[in-house]
Amino acid sequence: MNLNLAVLIDGDNIPSAHVKEMMEEIAKYGNPTIKRIYGDWTKPHLTRWKDLLLQNAITPIQQYAYTTGKNATDSAMIIDAMDILYSNKVNGFCLVSSDSDFTRLATRLREAGMQVIGIGEKKTPTPFIVACDKFIYVEILRKQSEQKDDASTKEKEKDSVDKITPQVIKLISTTIDDLSDEEGWAFLGDVGSLLQKKQPNFDSRNYGFEKLTPMIKSIGSFEVERRETPKSKHKLIFVQNMEQHNKKIKK
């Protein structure tokens, strides 16, 4: 199903540096028919957004901070989201923020049958992440080709890549078991989809891999097999836990 997406950006809570990459990422999941960003545009810290809004056709929504210490932007985004929901113009939302205050909004939109994609920094609290169908970290959207090729940048890139922990390996392993046939093989596309449902922020790019296949191959705990199919020109990729593979060899 082709998604028509409402993209709602918390201008007070998200960096402007990678808005181009964010919009390119969002386009992978659907057509962003509504694009709005919320903030108090009289404040100097939002001035860096202004040129980017024109370049990406994002509509700025002015929201004055009526009370010190209270985030009026959150309320404006939530009210607009509900108005858009009842307009029946979209079938998905992309909430761009690192603020856990949008957790209930994400949950409510999903209850209404909406697909909800979240985008935020790695500091985003877990409740908001798990309230979304998919959550993407801003940090992984940085394009290496646009970064300066110096030692400090490479060190930052290295530090930003998550380690593949035993917990991650177990998550993949149990997911394969959940989907495997009698011989222990599971279609990798289904594995990726179920991993996303179990853990919305699961993304091979978090671990330095563009795709799931090379990530799984790098771990060494799984057997990968490409199979030809009469219904497709492309080979389908299946994966099996190495433990299951070794049992078959011993037999």
pLDDT tens, 16-33?
877 888 888 999 999 999
143 pLDDT band (50/70/90 cuts)? low
What single DSSP character describes residue 113? T
Fold of the 166-250 domain:
Nucleotidyltransferase; domain 5 (3.30.420)
How many residues can be counted in the chain? 251
Q: Which helix or strand (DSSP H or E) is residue 9 part of?
A: strand 3-10
Query: Which of 113-117, 210-214, 225-229 has the least mean pLDDT?
Result: 225-229
Tell how strand 30-39 and strand 3-10 pair up.
Answer: parallel
Which of 110, 41, 145 is CA-nearest to residue 9?
41
Residue % of the chain over a pLDDT of 90 = 51
Angle at 43 between CA 40 and CA 46, to 5 degrees: 80
Residues of the chain with CATH 3.30.420.610: 166-250
Fold of the 3-149 domain:
Rossmann fold (3.40.50)
pLDDT computed for residue 185 by the predictor: 93
Residue 113 has pLDDT above 80, yes or no: yes
Which of 192, 196, 189 is CA-nearest to residue 237?
189
Tokens 């110096």 locate to 150
Tokens 């309230």 locate to 131
What single DSSP character describes residue 2? P
43 pLDDT band (50/70/90 cuts)? confident
102 pLDDT band (50/70/90 cuts)? very high
Interatomic CA distance for residues 47 and 41, integer angstroms: 7
Which long-range contacts (C-beta less than 8 Å, at least 24 apart) are formed by 201-206?
Answer: 201/129, 201/135, 201/136, 201/137, 202/171, 203/136, 203/137, 203/140, 205/140, 206/137, 206/140, 206/161, 206/162
Residues of the chain with CATH 3.40.50.1010: 3-149
| Contact of 71 with 9, CB cutoff 8 Å | no
